[in-house]
Structure 1
Amino acid sequence: MPPDPNLSAPLRHLEGDVPPAPDWFRDAVADRPRIGRVAVTGAGIETFVWGKSGRPGLMLLHGNGAHAGWWRFIAPFFAESHRVAALSWSGMGGSDWRETYDLDTFADEIGAAAESAGLFEAGAPVMVGHSFGCFPMLTEAGRAAGRWRGAVIVDPPIFSPERRAGRRREDGRFAPHRIYPTLEEALGRFRFAPMQPCETLYIADLIARESLREVAGGWSWRFDPSLWARLALPDRAAMVREARCPLALVTGARSDLMRPADAAYVQGLLPPGSPRIDLPEAYHHVMVDQPLAFVAALRAPLAVWPG
């Protein structure tokens, strides 16, 4: 059976046109961040910043193959009350690629970006990490008590022992990116990983356009395709247990990455009383599927962890 184009190529039918978007989204992305760059262990790291200095800090950390722009329609909702920053991990977005990757260096990127953005000026900030972004976030959270006010784990790829036993190991191989002759064709190839339905095509279009760069011969993706072949992850459950700040868990009720048994397993790793918020109708990419509900979900732990 051929793949469902709504899953494998959600933007293809638009033929490069920008889909209509609601007012809230247009207003949010009109609040453009201040884009900067900070050097971390020989690589330039792209940073986005919203809000005034001196407000409580909020650090937003994207997932694998994504970039800081995945937060452009979320961060402005917090910019009136917080100093908000996002980064593009090395090997992703507008940041430099590395010869090798490791979680300690990714965690260093968090600290450097937060310092550069002034997130510590009002005391300990809060981190929010989606998917892969949870791993550097938890690494950073395990380093020093009191440095971070809390960390929100959003639909992390942390699986129950039963599911881990049935998963295949990656063999470390990777394929270089294709070059698409036109922007239209490149946009038509965009898809989420894992694949999922998308009703908010205006969000998919924004993040897809900012995931591409013009190269000789056409357009290609901005992330380093070799990253996962060069990165090893430690025990994921231990990373949760070793965090030295309060934690909260946000999950997508329809996520095919973090299934109910996985979510229950991770919830059991959290300190007693940690908030757990499950977003109805959201898949793995919760900020794309249910952006306004996700904003409301993030406001809950920010209220629980007063500055």
Structure 2
Amino acid sequence: MPPDPTLSAPLAHLQGESPPAPAWFRDAVAVAPAIGRVSVRGARLETFAWGERGRPGLMLLHGSGAHAGWWRFTAPYLAEGYRVAALSWSGMGGSDWRETYDLDTFADEIEAVAEEAGLFAAGAPVMVGHSFGCFPMLTEAGRQAGRWRGAVIVDPPIFSPERRTGRRREDGRIGQHRIYPTLEAALARFRFAPVQPCDALYIADLIARESLKVVEGGWTWRFDPSMWARLALPDRAAMVRQARCPLALVTGARSDLMRPADAAYVQSLLPPGSPRIDLPEAYHHVMVDQPLAFVAALRTLLGLWPD
């Protein structure tokens, strides 16, 4: 069967035009973050921050190939009660690329950005990591007890033992991005990974535009295509067990990455009594699929947990 264009090229039919967006989204993205730069181990990182310094700290950590702008339509609502910060990992977004990548360096990036943004001013902050962002977050959570109040694991790529036996390893090839002659052509190639439906095309359009950069000959993606060939991950279950702060799990009820058996497996790795929230009608990219429900879930969770 030919690929479904609503999955493989959700923005192509728009021909470079931005789709209409609801008022809540327009209001959120109108709240411009404070954009900064922080140097960590020789790489300059792109940072975003919202909310007043002195409020409880909240660190938002995006997934693979994404960037800090993936939080632009949710962070302003969280910033009503928190000092919120986000970064683009080295090798992604507007941050510098590295010759090699490792989780300890990514964890150093979390600490440096959190310090620069003032997240520790009101005591131990909380981290929220989506997808790949869970791995640096769990590395950081395993370092020093008491430094972080808690860590929220959002639809992580941690799979049950039964499913791991049937999965391919991450692609280790070193490649190059294609260069598209126009912005319209580049936007037409945007898709989510893993591929999934997206009703909120105004969100897909925003993050796609901010995922691109101008280069000689046209437009291309901002993330380093060779990162996975230069990054080794330790045992994922061990990373969960070694965390030294409380953990919570948020999943998308329709996620094709974190399936029910995987979510049950991850939940079994968490300390007894750890919170679990399953967002109805959300796929893997929960902040895109159900952004307001995601905000409400985080607000409720952080208001009650950890004790």
TM-score category by the smaller chain? over 0.9
SS in 1 for 2:278: strand
Instruction: Provide the TM-score with structure 2 as the length reference.
Output: 0.99
Cα distance in 1 between the residues matched to 2:71 and 2:169: 31
Counterpart in 1 of 2:108?
108
Counterpart in 1 of 2:26?
26
Which letter maps to 2:127? M
SS in 2 for 1:166: coil
1:296, distance to aligned residue in structure 2 (A): 1.0
1:61, distance to aligned residue in structure 2 (A): 0.1
Q: What residue ranges of structure 1 are gaps of 5+ in the alignment?
A: none
Counterpart in 1 of 2:215?
215
1:305, distance to aligned residue in structure 2 (A): 2.8
Mapping 1:40-51, distance limit 5 Å: 40-51=40-51
Which letter maps to 1:193? A
State the number of aligned residues: 307
Counterpart in 2 of 1:134?
134
SS in 2 for 1:282: coil
The answer to whether 1:186 aligns with 2:186 is: yes
The answer to whether 1:198 aligns with 2:198 is: yes
1:279, distance to aligned residue in structure 2 (A): 0.5
1:2, distance to aligned residue in structure 2 (A): 1.1
Residues 141-188 of structure 1: per-residue CA shift (max 9 Å, x gap)? 000110000000000000000000111234521321000000000000
Residues 245-268 of structure 1: per-residue CA shift (max 9 Å, x gap)? 111000001100010000000000
Counterpart in 2 of 1:14?
14
Instruction: Provide the TM-score with structure 1 as the length reference.
Output: 0.99
Greater shift, 62-71 or 294-303, is seen at: 294-303
Are 2:171 and 2:228, in contact at CA under 8 Å, matched by a contact in 1?
A: no
Counterpart in 2 of 1:79?
79
SS in 1 for 2:99: coil
Are 1:149 and 1:305, in contact at CA under 8 Å, matched by a contact in 2?
A: no
Counterpart in 1 of 2:177?
177
Cα distance in 2 between the residues matched to 1:173 and 1:258: 25
Cα distance in 1 between the residues matched to 2:174 and 2:19: 33
Are 1:68 and 1:86, in contact at CA under 8 Å, matched by a contact in 2?
A: yes
SS in 2 for 1:254: coil
SS in 1 for 2:237: helix
SS in 1 for 2:39: strand
Cα distance in 1 between the residues matched to 2:289 and 2:107: 27
Cα distance in 2 between the residues matched to 1:123 and 1:76: 21
1:306, distance to aligned residue in structure 2 (A): 5.9
Q: What residue ranges of structure 2 are gaps of 5+ in the alignment?
A: none
The answer to whether 1:97 aligns with 2:132 is: no
SS in 2 for 1:65: coil
Cα distance in 2 between the residues matched to 1:89 and 1:46: 8
Cα distance in 2 between the residues matched to 1:289 and 1:191: 14
Residues 262-301 of structure 1: per-residue CA shift (max 9 Å, x gap)? 0000000011111100011100000000000101111122
1:210, distance to aligned residue in structure 2 (A): 0.1
1:79, distance to aligned residue in structure 2 (A): 1.2
Aligned structure 1 segments of 4 or more residues deviating by more than 4 angstroms: none
